[in-house]
């Protein structure tokens, strides 16, 4: 997912807090990536899968 911030073919939307969200399917997993603009470029804040549940016991 490291190339996501600079990939213009993946549509994005901007949240009210200024963070950018991109969604993409990677190897069948729906992934949401949160980006921030820092030092003139975009950097990944966090990313997580949307269609896999995580059970921590």
pLDDT in tens, 23-36: 888 788 888 888 88
Q: Is residue 55 part of a domain?
A: no
CA 17 – CA 54 distance, rounded (Å): 26
Q: Is residue 54 part of a domain?
A: no
pLDDT in tens, 2-48: 555 567 788 888 989 888 888 888 788 888 888 888 887 777 787 77
Domain of residue 8: give its range.
4-49
Q: Please, is 39 exposed, middle or buried when counting C-beta atoms within 10 Å of its C-beta (0-12, 13-18, 19+)?
A: exposed
Q: Is residue 57 part of a domain?
A: no
CA 44 – CA 1 distance, rounded (Å): 9
Task: Write down the pTM of the prediction.
Answer: 0.64
């Amino acid at each position: 997912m490291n190339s996501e911030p600079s990939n213009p073919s993946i549509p994005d939307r901007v949240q009210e807090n200024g963070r950018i969200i991109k969604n993409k399917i990677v190897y069948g997993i729906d992934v949401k990536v949160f980006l921030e603009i820092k030092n003139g470029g975009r950097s990944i804040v966090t990313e997580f899968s949307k269609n896999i549940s995580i059970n921590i016991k």
